[in-house]
Amino acid sequence: MDTIWRMLRSNRAASEDRSILSLFDDPQRFDDFSVSTAGMLLDYSKTSMDTEARRLLVQLAEEAGVEAQREAMFAGEKINTSEDRAVLHTALRNQNGPVMLEGADVMPEVRATLARMASFANALRNGEIKAADGGPITDVISIGIGGSDLGPAMGVKALGAYHDGPTLRFVSNIDGADFTEASKRADPARTLVIVASKTFTTIETMTNAETAKKWLGAGADSQMVAISTALDKTAAFGIPADRVFGFEDWVGGRYSMWGPIGLPIMLAVGPKRFGEFLDGGYAMDQHFRTAPLAENMPVLLALTGIWHRNICDYPSRAVLPYDQRLSRLPAYLQQLDMESNGKGVMADGTPVSQATGAVVWGQAGTNGQHAFYQLLHQGTNVVPCEFMMAAEGFEPALKHHHDLLKANCLAQSEALMRGRVSKDTEPYRAFPGNRPSTTLAYKKLTPFALGQIIALYEHRVFVEGVIWGINSFDQWGVELGKEMATALVPLVQGADASDKDGSTQGLLKALNAG
């Protein structure tokens, strides 16, 4: 692989002065540098990658063993080596045949859980499940954090056009403000509380769950649901087994919205729509498994990422959905991408020899235009931008809004690439241009399209991780802060802090002074 990395760097060095715009002298540029699958198109033509660079990048993916690793993942091999776990979130959306793990098919259990979720969701949505006082349940508060919150919260918002179930609120932060704000607009007598935690030990979630239990009062026994892999702990918390939706340790937290962790989405839009979301994920899986690497959307999105991160040395990338309902997607992708690929050692424990995960950030357009696009256009860092745009919105009466949204999205990628020269007397009006972007275009933000988008990004993260040789499925980097927080609690409550560093002691003094 060293040779290919070198060849890629030489390609970049030789072409650095060539503008992205000049690549469009080739009338085939768009057709050659875009890829489609099941109604979704990824345009990566507005990047500096040329045909030779792409050939080398595809070769890099081949030599890194992307195809073999991909099959190892789908086949249930324990590719999460540091936790000795398989990585089988794809089984949650599988629609074809068995998925074997250590000689046993996981699909009967997956299907049975999905059916239980559906019957629970139907019963809640049609009023059969009642509150403790016999009245209807109109509101749901979902408590969870990280992968047990970001996916469902993002998904409920994304599918807002289909939301015909109860009102959903999400509580994640240990800051009591989060539960207070969510609960003050809800009536405990009319509310179901979901406690979502893979481990059922996460301090934020368990603290909020205890608070919610008290808040529910008489309803606590019948108005709580748990979603977890730790069935002993959900029982100890007092949630009856028929109100617990279990899943297995081969579903990583940030890959878990396809199963029981996605229950809030199912409650909001119903089991049929949730099934369409799974269909979209499955369709992307099929494409990822079968399309040649050079025509494979997740692979090409990953290779664009590798090109920008490792060859062009761009430290971050912006996710810019021109779709207000996807406004939580950048936060979701931050966990998916940065918790997966923010790693400094390879899967074998040796230090990585080059940069890994980029900083992922972003906001829905057009809002971001009035906040940070100044830096995107004229700042000193080049930030590759990942635009997303639907051909159609859900508001036919407001089509002129959608036309303006579309025009703005297209204008931004064009302006970033084209730039503008200015008069010498007005250098502040100059735009350097030559700034790369990709655009993901889809027909409409249906549940199917959402499933495609999430699976696309999951596989993109996976392919980048394989090329870097890291384990994308563990998250040891979150441990130290958690341990130190536990140790600091008594100090915050007044215990002796003299063995702490000067800054921590000073801050404790300032903060404990009230």
Compute how many residues bind ligand F6P; rule: CB under 6 A: 14
Report in angstroms how near the CB of residue 80 gets to ligand F6P at its nearest.
12
Report in angstroms how near the CB of residue 241 gets to ligand F6P at its nearest.
19
Report in angstroms how near the CB of residue 338 gets to ligand F6P at its nearest.
11
Q: Who's near 117: CB < 8 A, 6+ residues apart?
A: 245, 260, 263, 266, 271
Positive or negative, the Cα torsion across 73, 92, 192, 141?
A: positive
Task: CB nearer to ligand F6P: give 255 or 322.
Answer: 255
Positive or negative, the Cα torsion across 241, 247, 253, 255?
A: negative
Residue 472 interacting with ligand F6P (CB under 6 A)? no
Residue of 272, 399, 482, 509 with catalytic role: 482
Task: CB nearer to ligand F6P: give 11 or 148.
Answer: 148
Task: CB nearer to ligand F6P: give 48 or 197.
Answer: 197
Report in angstroms how near the CB of residue 514 gets to ligand F6P at its nearest.
30
Task: CB nearer to ligand F6P: give 146 or 465.
Answer: 146
Report in angstroms how near the CB of residue 211 gets to ligand F6P at its nearest.
16
Report in angstroms how near the CB of residue 114 gets to ligand F6P at its nearest.
19
Positive or negative, the Cα torsion across 81, 85, 90, 91?
A: positive
482 is annotated as an active-site residue: yes
Helix pair 51-64, 447-468: axis angle to 10 deg? 80
Report in angstroms how near the CB of residue 220 gets to ligand F6P at its nearest.
20
Distance between CA 396 and CA 416 in Å, rounded?
30
Report in angstroms how near the CB of residue 142 gets to ligand F6P at its nearest.
12
Residue 478 interacting with ligand F6P (CB under 6 A)? yes
Interacting stretch for ligand F6P, rule CB under 6 A, among 35-43, 194-202, 297-305, 342-350? 194-202
Report in angstroms how near the CB of residue 12 gets to ligand F6P at its nearest.
34
- Give Cα 203 distance to the centre of its chain: 22
Q: Which of 243, 236, 273, 276 is nearest to 260 (CA)?
A: 243
Task: CB nearer to ligand F6P: give 252 or 298.
Answer: 252
Report DSSP state, residue 382. Answer: -
**Other beta carbons within 10 Å of 362:** 25
Interacting stretch for ligand F6P, rule CB under 6 A, among 105-113, 191-199, 422-430, 493-501? 191-199
Single-letter amino acid code for the residue at 233:
K
- Tokens 């639907």 locate to 390
Report DSSP state, residue 80. Answer: B
Task: CB nearer to ligand F6P: give 251 or 388.
Answer: 251
Q: Which of 37, 80, 148, 437 binds ligand F6P (CB under 6 A)?
A: 148
287 is annotated as an active-site residue: no
Positive or negative, the Cα torsion across 57, 59, 63, 65?
A: positive
Task: CB nearer to ligand F6P: give 224 or 416.
Answer: 224
Residue 253 interacting with ligand F6P (CB under 6 A)? yes
Q: Which of 48, 80, 147, 419 binds ligand F6P (CB under 6 A)?
A: 147
Binding mask 197-226 for ligand F6P (x = CB under 6 A): xxx--x--x---------------------
Task: CB nearer to ligand F6P: give 60 or 336.
Answer: 336
| Binding to ligand F6P in span 428-447, by CB under 6 A | none
- The two three-digit tokens of residue 29, written as one number: 């540029």
- Helices vs. strands in the chain: H and E counts, helices first: 19, 13
Residue 234 interacting with ligand F6P (CB under 6 A)? no
Task: CB nearer to ligand F6P: give 375 or 478.
Answer: 478
Binding mask 328-357 for ligand F6P (x = CB under 6 A): -----------x------------------
Q: Are 58 and 273 in contact (CB under 8 A)?
A: no
Distance between CA 153 and CA 117 in Å, rounded?
17
- Give Cα 313 distance to the centre of its chain: 23
Single-letter amino acid code for the residue at 453:
I
Task: CB nearer to ligand F6P: give 356 or 475.
Answer: 475
Q: Greatest CA separation found in the chain? A: 75
Q: Which of 146, 151, 384, 469 binds ligand F6P (CB under 6 A)?
A: 146
Report DSSP state, residue 380. Answer: S
Q: Which of 24, 32, 70 is nearest to 51 (CA)?
A: 32
Single-letter amino acid code for the residue at 397:
A
Q: Which of 93, 243, 254, 328 binds ligand F6P (CB under 6 A)?
A: 254
Report in angstroms how near the CB of residue 236 gets to ligand F6P at its nearest.
15
Q: Which of 257, 263, 259, 258 is nearest to 243 (CA)?
A: 263
Give, rounded to a whole angstrom, the gap between the first and last alpha carbons of the chain. 57
Residue of 63, 128, 210, 370 with catalytic role: 370
Residue of 276, 339, 386, 464 with catalytic role: 339
Helix (H, G, I), strand (E, B) or coil at 509: helix
Q: Are 142 and 124 in contact (CB under 8 A)?
A: no
- 498 phi, psi to nearest 5 deg: -65, -20
Edge to edge, the sheet with strand 40-43 lists 34-37, 40-43, 437-442, 385-390, 316-322, 359-362
Q: Which of 208, 310, 369, 475 binds ligand F6P (CB under 6 A)?
A: 475
210 is annotated as an active-site residue: no
Q: Name the site residues for ligand F6P (rule: CB under 6 A).
A: 145-148, 197-199, 202, 205, 253-254, 339, 475, 478
> Which residues are known catalytic residues?
339, 370, 482
